[in-house]
Amino acid sequence: MATDGANKRLKGRIGALLGILLMALSLRAAVVSVPPLLARIQEDIEFTEFTTGLLAMLAPISFAVFGLLTPRLIRLWGLERTLIISVALAVVGQLARPFMPNVYPFLALSIVTLAGYGMGNVVLPPLVKKYFPDRIGVVTSGYVTMIAIGTWLAPQFAVPFANIGSWKTSIGSWALLSSIVLIPWIMQLFADRRVQRPETQLPVVGGHEIVRINPWKSKVAWGLAIFLAGNSAQTYVYFTWLPPYLHAQGLSEASSGNMLALFAILGLPVSLLVPLWVPRLKNPIIAVGVFTACWIVGHLGIYLSPTSGTWFWVSMAGLGQGTFAIALLMMNLRSRTTYGSGVLSGFAQGLGYAGAAVVPMLFGIVQQASGSWGVAFSMLGVCIVVMLVGAIIINPPRTIEDTAPGAEGEGRLERV
């Protein structure tokens, strides 16, 4: 009998697991599949320096805006419906934008695509908490790993797909992967109507059901947002500036591109490691310190010795991406309910990506204004400090739902 019950629970969750992993695999395709093809795209659509810079900023800005909006959508529609709508937006945007004749309609449909993925970013952590509260570390490890694979996969195959067809075929083809995500989630939506699950959307504190968490008054939420901002800013600087910087220092265009691919793929091993290791630590800041040291060595090496030992410096920076996996994991470790996880995820990713959005642009502006890469690289040092401040705030074992009457408190819970 116990075995039959376990099998039913497994059957009820297998669709959710497949849907989470496929969604994670598709999340970064729209972001990283376009830059390798930009030269070909410019043959049909005129991109200026301004619109190219705007394109680079669209992902973090869209993730920020829709990160903040998504918790409200989750309350209106529920997790599964919100995810299905987000995937539908991503599919429509990816299919339509290759047919745009001008740059601004192309950018507008890119926003539609990124809006869908921005919503998906926020929904994934609470989905893990809802369906796998007993396996948060393992499932988080799986989906963060799939994000890393997707981040490597899209730029690696962007040019080969374009050689087979065209750049339009290449960037549009990733809509197929997004479409497949719909299948397990639509099936899961119907399955959930037949399987009664304990509802954990709304937290209960002191015997009273609470219907709203105000993250603006939560140290946990602010700490995680600051931590994610410092981390993501470094990552987006590398995605935007690593190839042109290395090429300017004397590396070939191909070698510079390969270094970016190396940086991206090194998110894979740390994505596997972090969710299995960090929950065992009493103080997660220990893991943050290890990966921060990797970032620092990478930054210094790439600046001081860009053409000697480049692979090692890039590898160290790539391993530093373990801080991103920690940020995603903490969205569940610093919440007690599915609802709290959704609020924390939306707030942290919304403000975090907003803060990260401006840094790659400022990096280029500072470099051009000063004529020095050293001044620009000093911005990465500021990002390290910001990230560590956030890590200190989220290190204590408290959650966004925690509150005490009359206390100056964490995650003040408000009745509506």
229 and 147 in a common domain:
no
pLDDT at position 324 is 92
The gap from C-alpha 227 to its chain's centroid, in whole angstroms, comes to 13
396 class by beta-carbon count within 10 Å (0-12 exposed, 13-18 middle, 19+ buried): middle
pLDDT higher than threshold 50 for residue 409: no
Span of 49-53, 92-96, 123-127, 162-166 with lowest mean pLDDT? 49-53
Q: If DSSP codes are grouped into helix, strand and coil, which group holds residue 61?
A: helix
Please write down the HEC assignment for all residues of 204-254: EECCEECCEECHHHCHHHHHHHHHHHHHHHHHHHHHHHHHHHHHHCCCCHH
Which is more confident, 295 or 40? 295
Which is more confident, 408 or 338? 338
46 and 169 in a common domain:
yes
Length of the chain measured in residues? 416
Distance CA 65, CA 41 (A): 27
pLDDT digits (tens, 9 = 90+) for 80-123: 889 999 999 999 999 999 999 899 999 999 999 999 999 998 99
pLDDT grade for 2, boundaries at 50, 70 and 90: very low
pLDDT at position 211 is 52
Q: What is the CATH number of the domain that holds 334?
A: 1.20.1250.20
pLDDT at position 116 is 93
pLDDT at position 396 is 94
213 and 191 in a common domain:
no
pLDDT at position 82 is 92
pLDDT digits (tens, 9 = 90+) for 165-219: 888 998 998 899 889 988 888 887 776 655 444 444 444 444 445 457 888 889 9
pLDDT higher than threshold 70 for residue 413: no
Cβ within 8 Å of residue 96, ≥6 positions away: 109, 112
Phi, psi of 267 (to 5 degrees): -70, -20
CA dihedral 329, 332, 333, 339 (to 10 degrees): 160
Strand pairing category for 212-213 and 208-209? unpaired
Please tell me the total count of domains within the chain: 2
pLDDT at position 231 is 94
Range of 61's domain? 1-198
As a whole number, the mean pLDDT across the chain is 84
Distances in Å between the alpha carbon of 82 and those of 23, 77, 89, 116, 348?
13, 6, 11, 10, 18
183 and 221 in a common domain:
no
383 and 252 in a common domain:
yes
pLDDT digits (tens, 9 = 90+) for 375-403: 999 999 999 999 999 999 999 999 998 85
240 and 183 in a common domain:
no
* Tally: H helices and E strands in the chain: 16, 4
220 and 353 in a common domain:
yes
pLDDT digits (tens, 9 = 90+) for 351-365: 998 888 888 888 888
pLDDT at position 193 is 57
Phi, psi of 135 (to 5 degrees): -140, 35
The pair of three-digit structure tokens given for residue 189, joined into one six-digit string = 């939506």
Residue 406 — left, alpha, or beta (φ > 0 → left; ψ -120 to 50 → alpha)?
left
366 and 239 in a common domain:
yes
212 and 136 in a common domain:
no
pLDDT digits (tens, 9 = 90+) for 245-263: 898 898 887 788 788 888 9
CA dihedral 170, 175, 178, 180 (to 10 degrees): -100
- Give the mean model confidence (pLDDT) for residues 265-292: 91
User: What percent of the chain has pLDDT above 90?
Assistant: 37
44 and 68 in a common domain:
yes
pLDDT higher than threshold 50 for residue 65: yes
pLDDT at position 6 is 44
pLDDT grade for 406, boundaries at 50, 70 and 90: very low
Examine the fold and report which residue of 198, 221, 246 is the final residue of a domain before the chain moves on: 198
403 and 270 in a common domain:
yes
Examine the fold and report which residue of 198, 231, 257 is the final residue of a domain before the chain moves on: 198
161 and 64 in a common domain:
yes
- Give the mean model confidence (pLDDT) for residues 20-28: 89
pLDDT at position 357 is 82
Cβ within 8 Å of residue 395, ≥6 positions away: 283, 284, 285
Examine the fold and report which residue of 180, 198, 216 is the final residue of a domain before the chain moves on: 198
Which is more confident, 319 or 402? 319
pLDDT at position 414 is 43
